[in-house]
């Protein structure tokens, strides 16, 4: 059984651009959770999608948004990128067990 997959592994963007990160949950899981791990700030909860709807949101500005598709995969979009958005973005498909992906490292220059 495939685990949670994220793409791309690395992403380099220029300040002001938009970034799109993708996550596919474990087969049969309907939820996707997004977390940001920025240097010095630890792991912060971003968004939770379940059955195609946003269920909860962390303390992030509206330029962080996403969606979940009918196959339960998800996209995280970050608009108007700022330097401080540079971080490792992790997604998970449940809140326990080995359900985190390997992450996308976003670098904003």
Partner 1 sequence: SQQGEEDPQALSIQEGENATMNCSYKTSINNLQWYRQNSGRGLVHLILIRSNEREKHSGRLRVTLDTSKKSSSLLITASRAADTASYFCATDARLSASYGKLTFGQGTILTVHP
- What residues make contact with partner 1 under the rule CB under 8 A? 31, 33, 35, 37, 42-45, 48, 50, 55-56, 58, 88, 90, 92, 95-103, 105
Contacts of 23 (CB under 8 A, 6+ apart): 4, 5, 6, 32, 34, 73, 74, 75, 76, 91, 101
Q: How far is the CB of 61 from partner 1 (least distance, A)?
A: 17
Minimum CB–partner distance for residue 16 and partner 1 (Å): 25
Classified as helix, coil or strand, 78 is: strand
Cis peptide before 8 (omega within 30 of 0): yes
Output the smallest distance, CB 45 to partner 1, in A: 4
The residue (of 55 and 63) whose beta carbon lies closer to partner 1 is: 55
Q: Residues 24, 100: contact at Cβ < 8 Å?
A: no
Pick 35 or 64: Cβ nearer partner 1:
35
Q: Return the number of the residue (73 or 88) whose C-beta is nearest partner 1.
A: 88
| Pairwise CA distance, residues 7 & 11, whole Å | 9
Residue with Cβ nearer partner 1 (20 or 37): 37
Total length of the chain? 109
Q: How far is the CB of 52 from partner 1 (least distance, A)?
A: 15
């Amino acid at each position: 059984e495939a685990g949670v997959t994220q793409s791309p592994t690395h992403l380099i963007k220029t300040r002001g651009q938009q970034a799109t990160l993708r996550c596919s949950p474990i087969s049969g899981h309907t939820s996707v959770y997004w977390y940001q791990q920025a240097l010095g700030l630890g792991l912060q909860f971003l968004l939770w999608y379940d059955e195609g709807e946003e269920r909860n949101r962390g303390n992030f500005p509206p330029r962080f948004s996403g969606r979940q598709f009918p196959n339960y995969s998800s996209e995280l979009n970050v608009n108007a990128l700022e330097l401080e958005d540079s971080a490792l973005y992790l997604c998970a498909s449940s809140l326990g067990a080995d359900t985190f992906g390997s992450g996308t490292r976003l670098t904003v220059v």
